[in-house]
Amino acid sequence: MAAAGGGGGGGGRATTSGCGLKRRYAPHDQEEETMNQDQSSKEDWCGRLWNGMDLLKDVTENKHVLPTGLEGIDTLLGGGLRQGQLTEVTGPSSSGKTQVCLHSASHAAVKHMGVVMYLDTSNSFSPSRIATIIDGTNDLSDQRGFDLPHKERLKTMMRSIVCKSVFDIFGMFEVLHQLEVSLLNDKVKSGGRKICLLIVDSISSLLAPIIGGKYPQGTTLKPPSPPHRLYPGISRGRSMMISVAMILKKLAYKHNLSVLVTNHMVSAGNGAVKPALGESWKAVPHVRLVISREHGSNICTATVLKHTLLASGRTAKFVVPS
Amino acid sequence: MGEQSGAQNAWDMLSDEQSQKHITTGSGDLNDILGGGIHCKEVTEIGGVPGVGKTQLGIQLAINVQIPVEYGGLGGKAVYIDTEGSFMVERVYQIAEGCIRDILEHFPHSHEKSSSGQKQLQPEHFLADIYYFRICSYTEQIAVINYLEKFLGEHKDVRIVVIDNVTFHFRQDFEDLALRTRVLSGLSLKLMKIAKTYNLAVVLLNQVTTKFTEGSFQLTLALGDSWSHSCTNRLILYWNGNERYAHLDKSPSLPVASAPYAVTGKGIRDAVSSHHKRARVT
């Protein structure tokens, strides 16, 4: 006989019917039983448990790399942009960051690896440049020898690159949310090509208006003299940065995407420069590359700042073809 | 993959881009390194030492954007935001006259056509189609850029916004450099959005300053590293001996290149040493 649910007084004995309310009144020795019953709902909550062999199998079978098409960079990256990971390219103005993004997008399109989503914050996405890069790869021939005319092949490839302009951080959250929803929906439907690469050029432009304050992290914050104007800027901006970072990494992990973001440089005192977005950002990307270009030349240098698998500090030169 | 609102695929963007007209600078050599002229939907920064011709180029673009469509131009209007008072109306009149003379030279029968409803080729009409804002402080500068969105919604024929110059009011008044960076990054994003949304060119004129890098003083554009990424294209004007040169320093689709140009009575034109025989208007 079931005890009255929610009734008053004394810890009565109640049968476990799977109802959480009754569980509160169940004595100790029945707890284990209830915990086993709820196992499946707990699993949905915190995700599958993987063992080491599962992970290794997943990495070798599912986690591919997307080459950028720029040889020096691909060598440094150990093949290319790894699926499931967030790669950052940082560097001073006009060092080639956008070119790396455009090359990565073009290369993924040429190899038919899937849809590329390009989020552009400075109107730098150039379709004519994409067409030039694709034309430059001599890979326009279909393996099976279908006699598609050049223009048709170019059209198919370029149609797999989707570009959207984003001009503020809230717009970015909106876009990522829409992307998440559509990816979850596509799990149910079949057909249609799946996104394989997400590019954000550049994430730092969207965050620059809201992060940074006079007082570095860790020092005592003295009240700023126009009161509370700087306070919101410090913690809110940094929390937005971490939010967007977490969303990007979650998208990468859950949907097996490669995510590529660009960052710019800020001054570090004494004429030196350092990557923007500060200390909290440093831990976010899986791989960080810093690139630079010699004035008046096509030759750029890339250095690994951080990599999950390979040693950092390695450098390579790459050429941006004209 | 679900459709994102406002997203376009690269193929469609390519067709749009190919039908896009560029704003001629008046100099064929300069147009060549810019891929035909100043691009709409992009923010172009033009920097240089005082006296090299930034304002001249700004005014020339505000005139050239108005060249009617039948003569190869955009037939648009201009917004000119003046922060220092460099906009000399007499000079603008002179440049408008020079532009009209070149159009008539190129299209000899045009003055015979009855241009009903089309722009009359008179300098007064060219001046009338420049919307001029004079601002005197950084707060006014922020306000006018915020106001632009509403203004451009009401004046859909504007095809260029020139800001001359964007750094002036941010160099003296700001003690809090971090705040300055935040404000300027916000402004830059707004300008990017305006360029894209209203399909116009945004041209930002910028001063140079000296910077101590790698053991020597070098000329660099004002407002520091954080501003340097806030434009789509960057053109640096400099002196090479007695000649003026322009160097395309940043572009997503064009290689870095330099070209000479001249500032004449009629406005910006090819340098005397140029291989372009005639001053091209289109």
Instruction: Provide block-wise average pLDDT over 10 residues at a time, chain B (282 residues).
Output: 72 92 95 95 93 93 94 94 94 95 83 55 93 94 94 96 89 80 92 96 88 63 79 92 91 92 93 63 48
pLDDT given for residue A12 in this prediction: 44
Distance set, CA A161 to CA A42, A58, A235 (Å): 39, 27, 35
- Higher-pLDDT residue of A160, A268: A160
Q: Which residue has the tokens 């304002």?
A: B55
Strand order through the sheet with A161-165: A315-319, A299-306, A287-293, A86-90, A258-263, A195-201, A115-120, A161-165, B8-9
What letter would DSSP give residue B4? P
Q: Is B139 helix (H, G, I), strand (E, B) or coil?
A: helix
Helix H or strand E encompassing A74 = helix A71-77
- Whether B206 and B234 have beta carbons less than 8 Å apart is answered as no
Q: What is the ipTM of this complex?
A: 0.89
Residues of A in contact with B161 (CB under 8 A): none
* A112 conformational bin, left if phi > 0, alpha if psi -120 to 50, beta if neither: left
User: What pLDDT was estimated at residue A148?
Assistant: 64
Q: Which amino acid is at B64?
A: N
CB of B96 within 8 A of CB of B126? Answer: yes
**In which element (H, E) is residue B183 found?**
helix B177-197
Q: How many CB pairs under 8 A join A and B?
A: 165
Q: Across all residues in chain A, what is the average pLDDT?
A: 78
Contact assignment for A205 to B212 by CB distance below 8 Å: no
A37 pLDDT tier (thresholds 50, 70, 90): low
Which residues pair with residue B269 across a beta bridge?
B262
B252–A126 CB contact, under 8 Å: yes
One-letter amino acid of A72: G
The first and second tokens of residue A198, run together, are 């997400």
Using a CB-CB distance cutoff of 8 angstroms, which residues of chain B are in contact with residue A114? none
Residue B275, pLDDT score: 64
Give me the pLDDT at residue A236, please: 79
Please tell me the predicted confidence (pLDDT) of residue A55: 82
Q: Do B1 and A159 touch (CB under 8 A)?
A: no
Q: Among the residues of A160-306, which ranges form H helices?
A: 169-186, 203-207, 230-255, 278-282
Identify which of A74, A163, A178, A73 has the alpha carbon closest to the alpha carbon of residue A123: A163
Q: Tally Cβ neighbours within 10 Å of residue B139.
A: 12
Dihedral of CA atoms B80, B84, B90, B96 in degrees, nearest 10, equals: -30
The Cα–Cα gap between A70 and A260 comes to 14
Task: Judge contact between A36 and A23, C-beta under 8 A.
Answer: no
Tokens encoding B114: 């009855």
Phi–psi pair at B263, nearest 5 degrees: -105, 110
CB-based contact A93 B211, cutoff 8 Å: no
Radius of gyration of chain B (CA): 19
Poorest-confidence range of A22-36, A116-130, A143-157?
A: A22-36
Give the tokens for residue A203. Answer: 């994430």
pLDDT at A31: 56
**CB contact B11 to A (< 8 Å):** yes
- pLDDT score at A46: 67
| pLDDT higher than 80, residue A229 | no
| Strands B158-164, B77-82: pairing kind | parallel
Min Cα separation B5/chain A (Å):
9
pLDDT exceeds 60 at position A245:
yes
3-state secondary structure of B227: helix
B10:A127 CB<8 A: yes
Amino acid letter, residue B45: E
Q: What is the pLDDT of residue B234?
A: 93
Query: Distance between CA A201 and CA A99 in Å, rounded?
Result: 10
| B217 close contact with A: CB closer than 8 A | no
Report pLDDT for A20.
43
- How much of chain A, in percent, has pLDDT values that exceed 70? 73
The closest alpha carbon to B249, from B192, B206, B196, belongs to B206
